[in-house]
Amino acid sequence: MAGILIVEDDKELREMLKISLTRRNHTVFETGNGREAITHFRAGVTDLVVTDLIMPEEDGLKVIIKLRELKPSIKIIAISGGGKAGPGSYLNLARALGADAIFSKPFSTNDLIAKIEELLSGEQVK
């Protein structure tokens, strides 16, 4: 049971993630854009962030940098489905900027949840 922030501009996908994580008894916060994710970030109750990379206004890379600044211990998972520069390179950039895990869309939600729980339980070995 942890506080998870979902930053994803696709409403359906965001909702799906929210439902599946709520089912696992996590507290889920959600937002559709990166700027809001940064301005409304509540460090006290958020343990992990799942963020899309290509979004209007502020993109996911900025979210990763900012949230790391605001809360260095936060776990970050980047998800992306491909864009002009290619999902691979964006995701790799996200990893370089400090994302703990990366998932390429479409991913298996079960794999994502497994990863989230692994990160939250502190077993992650880098």
Which residues form the interface with another protein (CB under 8 A)? 10, 12-13, 16-17, 19-20, 23, 54, 79, 81-89, 92, 105-111, 114, 118
Residue 4 Cβ vs another protein, minimum distance, rounded to whole Å: 15
Nearer to another protein, 8 or 41 (CB): 8
DSSP string, 11-70: HHHHHHHHHHHHHTT-EEEEESSHHHHHHT--TTT--EEEEESS-SSS-HHHHHHHHHHH
Residue 28 Cβ vs another protein, minimum distance, rounded to whole Å: 14
Give me the sheet containing 27-31, strands edge to edge: 27-31, 3-7, 48-52, 75-80, 101-104
Nearer to another protein, 19 or 43 (CB): 19
Nearer to another protein, 13 or 58 (CB): 13
